[in-house]
């Protein structure tokens, strides 16, 4: 029974992702974000439980990636598509097969530009497939982890809802900004960039200095910036990974 505990936790991650999909499709992006956060919470603890219980398995590894594909791949892709749908009329690319001068709303017509948001799920799927066969990614990541990318995308509707300002709207409901974020996220998830993992093998300060610094700064950023701090935390993660070299990590 003990060996099944990690897979049960992974199942909760997958279930959270499926619920988040339903809310994201219906346009309730805030509740979708909440369930993604819950799923990522379970995603962190299934791996921890597997290590603590010595219950790691190839099936568990594959199951974890399949759950991540839904929670941290499909949901942020749908959320991005919803944001692009709201923003697309500003650039005249709202409807498939229609003149860009005709922006009248019609539910029977398929949207074209917002579908580019679905590139995120493709990038996430390829990233997870590479991760499963890459023997280098044991104590670190190569490319942005899909949960980190999901947190970035899901922060947008939260910032729009709880920290709204005209500048925030002009930034996070700008079609070209959203397209740029989509393409950048797909690139970062699959780039050959060494990123440290938040996996503590010991509590030694010297061995985990980058992790302790990252956690401390992240807490401060989130306290002062709230949801707007999530993109800042991600940027901090990338910068620390690039400048704080670990001589034991090889790409």
Cα–Cα distance measured from residue 232 to residue 235, given in angstroms and rounded to the nearest whole number: 5
pLDDT for residue 24 is more than 80: yes
**In the chain, where the domains are located:** 2-243
* Residue 110 region by backbone torsions, left for phi larger than 0, else alpha for psi between -120 and 50, else beta: beta
| DSSP labels, 183-210 | HHHHHHHHS--EEE----SS--TTTTHH
Task: State the pTM of this model.
Answer: 0.86
pLDDT digits (tens, 9 = 90+) for 239-250: 999 887 654 544
Q: What is the CATH number of domain 2-243?
A: 1.20.120
Q: What is the DSSP letter of 27?
A: T
163 SS3 class: coil
- What pLDDT does residue 246 have? 58
**Residue 106's pLDDT band (cuts 50, 70, 90):** very low
Tokens, residue 79:
């959320």
């Amino acid at each position: 029974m003990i060996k099944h505990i990690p897979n049960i936790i992974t199942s909760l991650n997958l279930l959270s992702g499926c619920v988040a999909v339903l809310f994201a499709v219906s346009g309730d992006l805030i509740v979708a974000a909440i369930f993604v956060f819950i799923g990522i919470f379970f995603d962190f603890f299934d791996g921890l439980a597997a290590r603590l219980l010595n219950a790691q398995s190839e099936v568990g590894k594959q199951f974890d990636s399949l759950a991540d594909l839904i929670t941290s791949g499909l949901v942020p892709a749908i959320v991005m598509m919803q944001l692009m749908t709201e923003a697309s009329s500003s650039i005249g690319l709202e409807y498939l097969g229609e003149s860009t001068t005709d922006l009248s709303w019609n539910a029977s017509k398929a949207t074209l530009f917002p579908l580019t948001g679905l590139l995120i799920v493709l990038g996430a799927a390829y990233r997870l497939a590479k991760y499963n066969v890459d023997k280098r990614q044991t104590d670190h990541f190569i490319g942005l982890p899909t949960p980190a990318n999901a947190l970035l995308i899901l922060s947008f509707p939260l910032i729009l809802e709880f920290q709204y300002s005209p500048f925030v709207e002009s930034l996070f409901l700008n079609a070209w900004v959203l397209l740029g974020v989509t393409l950048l996220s797909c690139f970062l998830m699959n780039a050959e960039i060494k990123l440290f993992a938040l996996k503590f093998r010991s509590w030694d300060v010297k061995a985990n200095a980058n992790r302790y610094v990252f956690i401390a700064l992240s807490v401060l950023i989130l306290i002062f910036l709230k949801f707007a701090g999530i993109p800042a935390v991600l940027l901090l993660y990338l910068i620390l990974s690039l400048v704080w070299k670990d001589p034991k990590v090889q790409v």
